[in-house]
Amino acid sequence: FGVLYVVATAIGDDEDLSARAKATLQAVSLIAAEDTRDAGRLLRELGISTPTMAVHEHNEADRVPVLIERLQAGESLALISDAGTPLISDPGYRLVAAAHEAGIRVSPVPGACAAIAALSAAGLASDRFHFEGFLSAKAGPREARLNALAQTPHSLIFYEAPHRIIDTLTAMGQVFGAARLATLARELTKTFETMKRAPLAELLAWVEADSNQQRGEMVIVVAGAPALAVADEHRISAEALLTILVRELP
Ligand code: SAM
């Protein structure tokens, strides 16, 4: 069997594509790419002529059997997405799972990931974190999800589209509280890279005041729920327990 390499590409600065990623893209017989035009541009820059095949959200299920067959025939393949690490808010899960099920070796060629890059520089607790990815574009489900995360004690990582940043920061301020610390990591590794760490209300005001902050690619890292809020919840359940005990005990 061949090997399926899951190859990270850059998230802005092409220099972040590793030497091993380049060698792998050169060595494999086919590159499964989210967008073959983007991939073509990258491969031209790298001087690589490996053929590509489009594997995206809409055709992944159909492509998987074809790709597994080629792997079983002994060809090694690489999987890339438009930017950063495949499968992280990007396609590829079906292919990787099917490869494991078929007994094919899957090997990561790690590199840039916007979530990890943002967390590493956010100045918020990084010992434990929750990656949420994109919230729903619809207000109802988005708020329901934020509510479900409101008591999570770990840093929360969100991906967001620039045209929704104001709505999302507003909703976060309402649900998590205006004072909760957050970091907006924008255009990482690119010319206009910006990192801003502030309480949610201040962060929102800062983004509203400068339309440049409403452009480009962005990650929001939000501090976890303060220990007191979590303790408060436990106190409620302790009180409830006490009431039951008082009622039930002889
Ligand atoms: N697979 C990618 C990764 O490893 O980060 C993420 C793909 S997801 C479709 C694209 C989202 O990632 C963007 O909307 C943005 O939230 C985030 N992102 C990607 N590149 C970024 C960058 N240079 N700076 C900030 N956020 C970025």
Tell me the CA–centroid distance for residue 228 and ligand 1, in Å: 33
> Quick check: 245 pLDDT over 90?
no
What number is the average pLDDT over the span 229-233? 53
Mutate to test the pocket of ligand 1, among 119, 218, 220, 222 (most ligand atoms within 8 A of CB): 218
Q: What ipTM was estimated for this complex? A: 0.99
Q: Tell me the whole-structure pTM to 2 decimals.
A: 0.91
More confidently predicted of 206 and 237 = 206
pLDDT, tens digit (0-9, with 9 covering 90-100), for 136-157: 999 999 999 999 999 999 999 9
pLDDT, tens digit (0-9, with 9 covering 90-100), for 176-213: 999 999 999 999 999 999 999 999 999 999 999 999 99
Return the percentage of the chain with pLDDT > 70, whole number. Answer: 91
Q: How confident is the model at residue 109 (pLDDT cuts 50, 70, 90)?
A: very high
- Mean residue pLDDT of the chain comes to 94
> Quick check: 249 pLDDT over 80?
no
**133 vs 159: CA distance, rounded Å:** 5
Tell me the CA–centroid distance for residue 235 and ligand 1, in Å: 39
SS3 labels along the chain: CCEEEEECCCCCCHHHCCHHHHHHHHHCCEEEECCHHHHHHHHHHHCCCCCEEECCCCCHHHHHHHHHHHHHCCCCEEEECCCCCCCCCCCCHHHHHHHHHCCCEEEEECCCCHHHHHHHHCCCCCCCEEEEEECCCCHHHHHHHHHHHCCCCCEEEEEECHHHHHHHHHHHHHHHCCCCEEEEEECCCCCCCEEEEEEHHHHHHHHHHCHHHHCCCEEEEECCCCHHHHHHHHHHHHHHHHHHHHHHCC
Burial zone of 203 (CB within 10 Å; 0-12 exposed, 13-18 middle, 19+ buried): buried
The pLDDT of residue 200: 98
pLDDT, tens digit (0-9, with 9 covering 90-100), for 59-95: 999 999 999 999 999 999 999 999 999 999 999 999 9
Find out whether the beta carbon of 34 lies less than 6 Å from any atom of ligand 1: no
**82 vs 53: CA distance, rounded Å:** 13
Find out whether the beta carbon of 113 lies less than 6 Å from any atom of ligand 1: yes
How do beta strands 155-160 and 194-199 pair? unpaired
**122 vs 119: CA distance, rounded Å:** 5
pLDDT, tens digit (0-9, with 9 covering 90-100), for 10-28: 999 999 999 999 999 999 9
Find out whether the beta carbon of 90 lies less than 6 Å from any atom of ligand 1: yes
Q: How confident is the model at residue 227 (pLDDT cuts 50, 70, 90)?
A: confident
**119 vs 115: CA distance, rounded Å:** 6
Return the percentage of the chain with pLDDT > 90, whole number. Answer: 90
What number is the average pLDDT over the span 95-113? 98
Mutate to test the pocket of ligand 1, among 88, 189, 217 (most ligand atoms within 8 A of CB): 217
How do beta strands 155-160 and 218-222 pair? antiparallel
